Amino acid sequence: MTLRFILVLLCCLAGTAHAEPARQKPHKAYLSLIIDDLGQNLPRDRRVLALPGPVTTAIMPDTPHAGEFAREAHRAGKIVILHMPMDPATGPFAWHPDLPIEELEKRLDAAFKAVPFTAGINNHMGSRMTAQQPAMAWLMANLQGRHKFFVDSRTSAQTVAAAEAQKIGLASVSRDVFLDDERTEAAILTQLQTAISLAQKQGSAVMIGHPYPQTLAVLERELPKLKAQGINWIDIKQMISVRSNRATAAHGKDGVYR
């Protein structure tokens, strides 16, 4: 009897030793989406307003329907941001490194007047401009005075925009995934899945897309499925709060932008 008891006890201990450790409860996964380049084509852009969830509309100031679409987006309950043209973008609103601060301010003022109801701003193109520290420092201080937030589209690895925003405590966030650099539904779906995986891994992901037919088709089909995948679909203001102005590992170290 004693031998049998010992054998049973050893078996129980062995089973405990080889049991899987308790899995950590997964943290929440947050996802936000910005659609850029709006204001050019009302029928196309209205498909963006029909997308489910809190999509942020980024409207270019030099488009024929900028003001009208901004008002429509605002009435639809969407967050409106200014999609500010920056070098190498061209046009009457575009920022370039050789322009004096006075001209940059004049163009920014005009752009905000062209796009009403803006809560913030992100850069259109801007690969050269967002690397200009003096201009970016000035911009962030100006936005702070206007009570606007900043989204760094990160069109350049040399960007200092988010870092300058962080230095003064301006509400800001950075893009993680571009959805449609390749304009095929298969590639866009892959990028969306990349964003979902990133959100599940690091807790959040910010996506930027464009109103291409392929992008809209994928989003119309896939966005309603996010909740079932455990994704918390939030607007860009909420995302700024979730990230608390801290850089992700891809954009900095220990929460500080590099």
**Domain range list for the chain:** 30-245
pTM exceeding 0.85: yes
Percent of residues, the chain, with pLDDT higher than 70: 90
231 pLDDT above the threshold of 70 = yes
Cα(62)–Cα(79) distance, integer angstroms? 19
Q: Are 115 and 59 in contact (CB under 8 A)?
A: yes
Q: Are 149 and 156 in contact (CB under 8 A)?
A: no
Banded model confidence at residue 1, pLDDT cuts 50, 70, 90: very low
Tokens of 31: 């996802």
- pLDDT tens figures, 14-55: 443 344 444 454 479 999 999 999 999 999 999 999 999 999
Tokens of 38: 């709006």
Cα(158)–Cα(167) distance, integer angstroms? 17
Tokens of 222: 């896939």
pLDDT at residue 30, rounded to an integer: 98
Average per-residue pLDDT for the chain: 91
Q: What is the DSSP letter of 95?
A: B
Cα(253)–Cα(49) distance, integer angstroms? 36
pLDDT at residue 82, rounded to an integer: 98
- DSSP per-residue codes, 134-169: HHHHHHHHHHHHHT-EEEE---STT--HHHHHHHHT
Tokens of 3: 């031998």
pLDDT at residue 9, rounded to an integer: 40
pLDDT at residue 79, rounded to an integer: 98
Instruction: Report, as an integer, the average pLDDT of 236-249.
Output: 94
- pLDDT tens figures, 141-151: 999 999 999 99
Tokens of 252: 């900095």
Tokens of 191: 């990028």
Query: Which CATH topology does 30-245 take?
Result: TIM Barrel (3.20.20)
- pLDDT tens figures, 171-183: 999 999 999 999 9
Instruction: Report, as an integer, the average pLDDT of 46-69.
Output: 97
For 76-115, give one letter per residue: b (16+ CB within 10 A) or e.
eebbbbbbbbbbebeeebbbbeebeeeebeebbeebbebb
Instruction: Report, as an integer, the average pLDDT of 65-76.
Output: 98
Q: Are 94 and 87 in contact (CB under 8 A)?
A: yes
pLDDT at residue 110, rounded to an integer: 98
Q: What is the largest CA-CA distance in the chain?
A: 94
